[in-house]
Amino acid sequence: MRQRLIVCNWKMHKTAAEAAVYLQQLSALVPRADPIEVVLAPPFTALHVVGQSSGHPFGLAAQDLFWDDTGPYTGEVSAPMLTALGCRYVILGHSERRQLFGEDDAGANKKVRAALRHGLRPILCVGESLSQRDRGDTENVVRGQLLRGLEGLSKEESRTVTIAYEPVWAIGTGRAASPEQITATHQTLRSTLANSWGSETGEQVRILYGGSVTPDNVSAFLASAEVDGALVGGACLDPHSLAKIVACAQSSQR
């Protein structure tokens, strides 16, 4: 049985001092995350606040990395730097990286491999644009992003990856996908994983939904057996709102 996972993408929000206050508030509201897993992904500058404070039940993720370990890459951060701060996960291929910073599937693949080399678990984001959905291309788009993003991974490596299905048109818009749309796309992703890396990978990889998830709609998404959790952006910035999402995930635990 796949453990439910809620990943909180803070994007470019909160200073280190604000992160410390948030962590204190959230820890009071969510003293235990069991039986689900809750992972916080603050900006690079606040990773140490979450990574170095003990006594909370949250895991730590980075929002990106660069594929080489060291070198002349001004502004970049590598996998060993992230593991040294206590990161266990890293979000890769987010649509904002793809749209605003020109990231492509080949780059996401190099980052996935770099993460795995250092024991970091990649959370690979895939998702179609509105015009791609309107053209009926959703399946082809997400299947292609998945296969290119995970190209070259062994069966063992593929099982440690998490996939986040995030339709571009649903991110930060208040217009979430419907449970039916999500279920259909997750089925496509899971069958692609099973066909390419075997049935164990198909069964074990967690597939999250992301895109305007809120305390009001998360239960409807988690009601689908195809949805293993959520990647939450805007709604996780308020600890009260995130605590409600976690409570919904805990009470809908399968």
**Comparison of 185 and 212: residue with beta carbon closer to ligand PEP:** 212
Check: CB of residue 68 under 8 Å from CB of residue 14: no
| Residue 158 token pair | 């593929």
Under the binding rule (CB under 6 A), the answer on residue 249 touching ligand PEP is no
The least CB distance from residue 84 to ligand PEP, in Å, is 25
Check: CB of residue 192 under 8 Å from CB of residue 151: no
**Comparison of 94 and 190: residue with beta carbon closer to ligand PEP:** 94
The least CB distance from residue 82 to ligand PEP, in Å, is 18
Under the binding rule (CB under 6 A), the answer on residue 9 touching ligand PEP is yes
Distance CA 115, CA 153 (A): 12
Q: Which of 37, 94, 96, 128 is catalytic?
A: 94
**Comparison of 50 and 171: residue with beta carbon closer to ligand PEP:** 171
Asked about 166 being catalytic, the answer comes back as: yes
The least CB distance from residue 192 to ligand PEP, in Å, is 21
The least CB distance from residue 108 to ligand PEP, in Å, is 14
Under the binding rule (CB under 6 A), the answer on residue 234 touching ligand PEP is yes
Under the binding rule (CB under 6 A), the answer on residue 233 touching ligand PEP is yes
What is the contact mask toward ligand PEP in residues 182 to 221, using x (rule: CB under 6 A)? ----------------------------xxxx--------
SS (H, E, C) the chain: CCCCEEEEECCCCCCHHHHHHHHHHHHHHCCCCCCCEEEEECCHHHHHHHHHCCCCCCEEEECCCECCCCCCCCCCCEHHHHHHCCCCEEEECCHHHHHHHCCCHHHHHHHHHHHHHCCCEEEEEECCCHHHHHCCCHHHHHHHHHHHHCCCCCHHHHCCCEEEECCHHHCCCCCCCCHHHHHHHHHHHHHHHHHHHCHHHHHHCEEEEECCCCCCCHHHHHCCCCCCEEEECHHHCCHHHHHHHHHHHHHCCC
The least CB distance from residue 41 to ligand PEP, in Å, is 9
Question: Using CB atoms, what's the residue nearest to ligand PEP?
Answer: 233
Q: Which of 37, 103, 157, 166 is catalytic?
A: 166
The least CB distance from residue 11 to ligand PEP, in Å, is 6
Distance CA 50, CA 36 (A): 18
Under the binding rule (CB under 6 A), the answer on residue 166 touching ligand PEP is yes
**Comparison of 50 and 231: residue with beta carbon closer to ligand PEP:** 231
Asked about 200 being catalytic, the answer comes back as: no
**Comparison of 146 and 202: residue with beta carbon closer to ligand PEP:** 146
- Contact positions vs ligand PEP (CB under 6 A): 9, 11, 166, 171-172, 210-213, 231-235
Catalytic residues, by residue number, are: 94, 166
